[in-house]
Amino acid sequence: MIEDQSSLLPLPRLEFVMPQSDASAAKAYWPAVVAISLAMFGLIGSELLPVGLLTPMAQDLNVAIGAAGQAITATAIIAAIASPVIILGAGRFDRRKLVVLLTATIFLSGILTALAQTYWVLLVARALLGIALGGLWAMLTALALRLVPPASVPRAMSVIFTGITAATVFAPSAGLYLGELWGWRGTFGAAAAIGFVAVIGVVATLPRLPATEPTRIDSFRIVLTRRSVVLGIVMVMLVLAGHFAGFTYVRPIIEQVAELSGETIALALLLYGLAGLVGNTLGGILAQRSASGGAIVAALLIGLAALTLVFLGGSPIMAFVSVTVWGLAFGAFPVCITTWTANAAPDRAESAGALIATSFQVAIAIGASAGGPLFDNSGAFGIVSFTSISLFAGALAMLVLGLPLERGGKLMSSRAGATRGH
């Protein structure tokens, strides 16, 4: 189905407009791309570890499970704030040094979490992780643009998001398993060790990345005058809110519709994660042909998978197929939409990346918080109705507004007539 859709989009390959001062773009630094992927694996893994460790964390720190869960909320909130703040504050600071410092923060957060004796120390440690999350995520597009040639950017984004997806797949279950072996403190110690290895990786592989131009608040204004960037933010908000509204509650949805056991649902979620890894690679292929087309196809498939799960998921086979297709499509979406951003603002990749990173975190919070009341009041049908409407709206917006911009090679156009030298 994905191949048939993409064949309808014979769009010309777009060339990235690189900042003239960026000399590193002529050479491909693939080991550095892999190191960034490892850093993101450690980062997202650390963010999600509490999912499988909330009960022992709450008992050890003598707080309610709900309070312990705020360790995840704190990370997301700080990340949403940190994305634009770090990019604004970076000035002329060498981006290699910034990446090293942010990656080291993953290690520091893991150590502090493992040693935390009070709830407030835990929250401080998780806030530090949020700083690393917001800063690194905001820089992903800019790093890809500077570490590999323009034609290889979609592939580089695919490699980076493979680390992110792998962490999303394995962190919750690994946290639960390792928590039984080593306790929750030992598990966060292991996460800190991954962060330490990631620090060594980025130190050893990243070239010097001097700032091409300090980011000022005016840079965000200029980026927001570009319809293509605003469209990317709108699609992220719609697709991510819809996805997380549904997927956050996918277990009770499957239990209600298919009446599967916990072990069987765990297998379905494993297939979701493995399909997501495949989706990362597929997303890179689609994005190289058409970033907007890949994002549209991914959003449509997620919406269709959610509807299929509710209306045909009474069959265990269809439930498994629906969840697997959902994972495949969602694995492709971040790669496509991040590549779209790279096309839309290669000259202001850090500013655009910060806005997209903040949009990701806000959309996750909106979707996860909206899903609970919807499920409680309307069950699986209500929550999936919201999910599909939100996803189809995002796909429609990109289809109507995005494809013409990409086809015409006008992704960098803006009402303000942004200059190319910035």
Residue 395 has pLDDT above 60, yes or no: yes
Q: Are residues 395 and 320 in the same domain?
A: yes
The residue among 167, 190, 214 that closes a domain is: 214
Q: Are residues 361 and 256 in the same domain?
A: yes
Among 269, 252, 250, CA closest to 169: 269
Is 4 part of any domain? Answer: no
Instruction: Give whichever of 46-50, 279-283, 363-367 has the largest mean pLDDT.
Output: 279-283
**pLDDT band (50, 70, 90) for residue 348:** confident
Q: Are residues 162 and 261 in the same domain?
A: no
Is 65 part of any domain? Answer: yes
**Which of the two residues, 410 and 234, has the higher pLDDT score?**
234
State residue 239's pLDDT score: 94
**pLDDT band (50, 70, 90) for residue 66:** low
pLDDT, mean over the chain:
82
**pLDDT band (50, 70, 90) for residue 301:** very high
Residue 116 to residues 60, 73, 222, Cα–Cα distance (Å): 10, 18, 43
State residue 6's pLDDT score: 32
Q: Are residues 264 and 198 in the same domain?
A: no
DSSP 170: H
Which residues, 6+ apart, have CB-to-CB distance to 97 below 8 Å?
A: none
Is 89 part of any domain? Answer: yes
Please state the φ and ψ torsions of residue 80, each to the nearest 5 degrees: -65, -35
CATH number at residue 196: 1.20.1250.20
User: Which residue has 């096309």 as its token pair?
Assistant: 343
Among 314, 315, 325, CA closest to 272: 325
Q: Are residues 145 and 270 in the same domain?
A: no
**Which of the two residues, 67 and 416, has the higher pLDDT score?**
67
Q: Are residues 182 and 226 in the same domain?
A: no
Is 9 part of any domain? Answer: no
Report the pLDDT averaged over residues 92-108: 92
> How many domains are there within the chain?
2
Is 393 part of any domain? Answer: yes
State residue 213's pLDDT score: 62
Please state the φ and ψ torsions of residue 122, each to the nearest 5 degrees: -60, -45
**Which of the two residues, 64 and 183, has the higher pLDDT score?**
183
Summarize pLDDT for 199-234 with one digit per residue, the tens: 999 999 999 988 776 567 777 788 888 888 899 999
The residue among 179, 214, 249 that closes a domain is: 214
Is 245 part of any domain? Answer: yes
Q: Are residues 90 and 65 in the same domain?
A: yes
Q: Are residues 229 and 198 in the same domain?
A: no
Report the pLDDT averaged over residues 90-110: 91
Query: What tokens does 371 get?
Result: 């899903």
Burial environment of residue 326 by CB neighbours within 10 A (0 to 12, 13 to 18, 19 or more): buried
State residue 370's pLDDT score: 79
Q: What percent of the chain has pLDDT over 90?
A: 34
Residue 65 has pLDDT above 90, yes or no: no
Summarize pLDDT for 247-293 with one digit per residue, the tens: 877 777 888 887 777 677 778 878 888 898 899 889 989 988 888 99
User: What does pTM read for this prediction?
Assistant: 0.74
Residue 150 has pLDDT above 50, yes or no: yes
Residue 26 CB neighbour total at 10 angstroms: 8
**Which of the two residues, 48 and 318, has the higher pLDDT score?**
318
Residue 88 lies in domain: 24-214
Q: Are residues 201 and 265 in the same domain?
A: no
How far is CA 97 from its chain centroid?
A: 23
409 backbone φψ class: left, alpha, beta (φ>0; ψ -120 to 50): left
Is 231 part of any domain? Answer: yes
Alpha carbons 72 and 66: distance in angstroms, whole number:
11
Q: Are residues 278 and 363 in the same domain?
A: yes
